[in-house]
Amino acid sequence: MSYYLHEVAGRIRIKTPLIKKNPARAEHVSTIARQFRGVRSVETNTTTGSILITYDKNVLHHDIILTTLENSGYFDRTKIEQKDFVSRQAAVAGEFIGKAIFGYAAEKALESMGLSFVSALI
């Protein structure tokens, strides 16, 4: 699993392999993140390795949170694969849409062939 980062003002979601299937580490990350004034909530998911932190953007800057998690060994900015993640998801969506369009076209072609065959019999 690679690292993933998505951030908007007041909200950070990261995925890290270091808390996946490790509740003790997930709790430690929560403790680290909650130490900052301005953090509103911290949610961890050990199934996905996800950490969601909401904070007051007027009190705390996201870079402080990320740097602290990085210095604690829970995050590595050099291994973020956000672009690859988006590309993979787009490829999956494109494949699904392509199959749906092909299926629809094949169904319509077969439908018209069936009508032609029936009308030829009459």
- Tell me: do 116 and 99 sit in the same domain: yes
Structural contact between residues 39 and 55, judged by C-beta atoms closer than 8 angstroms: yes
* Per-residue pLDDT tens listing for the chain (122 residues): 578 898 999 999 999 999 999 999 999 999 999 999 999 999 999 999 999 999 999 999 999 999 999 999 999 888 886 555 565 666 667 777 777 787 777 677 767 666 555 555 55
pTM: 0.65
Assign residue 53 the CATH number of its domain: 3.30.70.100
Residues 55 and 33: their CA atoms lie apart, in Å, by 10
Domain boundaries, position 60: 4-80
Query: What pLDDT sits at residue 94?
Result: 74
**Cβ neighbour number for residue 14 with a 10 Å cutoff:** 23
- Tell me: do 86 and 29 sit in the same domain: no
